[in-house]
Amino acid sequence: MAACHAPPFLCFLAWIQPIIVNQQLPSDLLSPSQLLFKKSFDFIVVGGGSAGCVVASRLSEEPNWRVLLLEAGGEEYKSADVPGLLTYNWDTNLDWQYKTKPDEKYCGGKSCVWNSGKVLGGTSILNGMVYNRGNARSYDAWKELGNEGWGFDDVLPYFKKSENNADQDIAANTMYHSKGGPLNVQRFAFKDKNVQPLVDALEELGYHQVDINGGNQTGVTIAQFTQKNGSRLSSNKAFLAPVRKRKNLTVVTNARVVRVVMDPITKRATGVEYVWEKFKHMGKHTIRAEKEIILSAGAIKSPQLLMLSGIGPRSVLTEKGIEVIEDLQVGQNLQDHPTSNGILLNLGDKQKSISNGLNILREFSEYMRNNDGPLSQVGPLQVSFYIKSRYADPKIDYPDIQFFLPPVYKTKEAPGEVKSPNTQYNRIMFQPGVMMQKSRGYVTITDSNPFSDPVIVPHYFQVEDDLNVLIDAYNFIYKNLSNTKVFKGLGMALDTTPAPECAHEKFGTEPYWICLARNLTLTLHHFSGTCKMGPRSDTSSVVDANLLVHGTKNLRVADASIIPVLGNSNTNAPVIMIGEKAADIIKESFVVTFS
């Protein structure tokens, strides 16, 4: 174990983390037996993430439909429940740990790490739990691209269908919110000590509190999260776990789908090939779908699976020796919200949140007893705010910068070496998201081997406007927020020590900001767009407005990959909405009559 210069308990936590997270649950070992004597199902859902759990749950509401959900990862772990340990499941066996192709224009010329859930519940196990639908104009833009039925007025009922808003002041706005759905949404009951100062500082600058899921976004919010009583509520827990006992629903973990079986003549999807994740050497197995296959494997895996199945750019498939079933621009149109590290707020002594070992043990005990105390929340990440860059229309409420405020614990001896709970920090990081990125990347396959890592090229900052948006965000913190009376009164001040990677530039100048963006680039994990939704006349599209893959039969995609233009929000809530709407589309297409 590397030398640790943090308080002893944090060192202990860093050491024991792999032991806690990598525990194998017995229920995973039972999964293979569930398919031993099964030859077919009506519907096969590939991927048990934010959308897949919803699709499987909703389709199995029809008792005569046999539904199979296949997930490459294992069951959800207890360690994911604790909000204060938000990042402790990253870079573990619950994570695909994707890496992008290196590029000198971002991530310091190295591969960017893209965390993505490989577990039942998908990335809703790893994410920050923020419930953020995005601006209404984002969805209206989908409709304007020819996707009838996907404007904001069309999708709002599906957001509300999922929602159980537990904050009475917000739930009272029934135009935008509802109660009674499976997805509990609420603010954290435990309020971090820096939440109010952050809100006060922004209000000092004229940014008032808003419900970002209501009529306005520009401003500051004490966010709502997909959690219930201080415990993470993943898509798995909200939608799947309550119905796992349905006789017509089969959920199998540790089963990685490697190909959709396609009839090359009719172009009909007839089944899937899969392997047991822990026993790949035992070979592939096939199971049939009598009605449909729905890919909900995410913006990286869904396009990879399509290409391995013969659906994708002809030039790519031919080069890799894969028979072309349908020539489509699969894997193109990759979008994300980039941000960066590098803007740190030093906290006054009273605003620091650092406990001694005994107090931390008490916090853990308090959480284990009743899901209460500091560990039942995410620290300053409770606060988020939207502002506009030089490119945003000043006349309308459609902001293009969203700030996230992760807590940071650093020591002079080993800055950043030890991961700490969100309850233990002495600085706050300002991470501005470029929420209307103009650059587009792509995902493709390395070869025909399903176990080869996909090639991911995000093309961050390929369009210079994206870089300028970050510059505007940095300047807002540097010139405005850091100089508020609220911050000065509490001894909170910007750390103007240059990042080592950018020490050759003067802090606060445009060259310094550009250096930060290109060297300390981070993803907000909002990967999308790689199976673009659009009419067949749009040659860049992959699925139609009913999510059917162009030119094929019985094959749909329902996840973040279908998003044609990424909106200005986190993606978990929109992806759950996509799952809800996809299930209804499927039900309607089979003319199901419910008693």
Residues labelled as active-site residues: 526
Read off φ and ψ for residue 474, nearest 5 degrees.
-60, -45
Angle, alpha carbons 464-109-526 (nearest 5°): 60
- For residues 348 and 495, is the Cβ–Cβ distance under 8 A? no
Tokens representing 57 are 């749950």
The C-alpha atoms of residue 152 and residue 425 are separated, in whole angstroms, by 39
Residue 109's region, left for phi above 0, alpha for psi from -120 to 50, else beta, is: left
- For residues 255 and 274, is the Cβ–Cβ distance under 8 A? yes
Judge residue 19's burial from the number of C-beta atoms within 10 Å of its C-beta, 0-12 exposed, 13-18 middle, 19 or more buried: exposed
Cβ neighbour number for residue 209 with a 10 Å cutoff: 13
E runs forming strands in 299-413: 311-312, 326-327, 338-340, 344-346, 383-387, 401-404, 407-408
Tokens representing 532 are 């673009």
DSSP-assigned letter for residue 237: I
The one-letter amino acid at 435 = M
Closest Cα to residue 80, out of 231, 253, 181, 183?
231
Tokens representing 269 are 């999807």
Read off φ and ψ for residue 476, nearest 5 degrees.
-60, -45
Closest Cα to residue 70, out of 35, 96, 42, 95?
35
The C-alpha atoms of residue 187 and residue 235 are separated, in whole angstroms, by 18
Cβ neighbour number for residue 240 with a 10 Å cutoff: 25
Distance of CA 249 to the CA centre of its chain: 26
Distance of CA 274 to the CA centre of its chain: 25
SS3 of residue 314 by DSSP: helix
- For residues 34 and 70, is the Cβ–Cβ distance under 8 A? no
DSSP-assigned letter for residue 234: -
The C-alpha atoms of residue 456 and residue 87 are separated, in whole angstroms, by 23
Rg, C-alpha atoms of the chain = 23
Read off φ and ψ for residue 366, nearest 5 degrees.
-65, -40
Closest Cα to residue 312, out of 147, 444, 459?
444
DSSP-assigned letter for residue 432: E
DSSP letters spanning 464-526: HHHHHHHHHHHHIIIIIGGG-HHHHHTT-EE--PPPGGGTTS-TTSHHHHHHHHHHSEEE-S-
- Helix 572-589 and helix 52-59, axial crossing angle in degrees, nearest 10: 30
Closest Cα to residue 402, out of 521, 559, 567?
567
Q: At which residue do the structure tokens 């005990």 appear?
A: 365
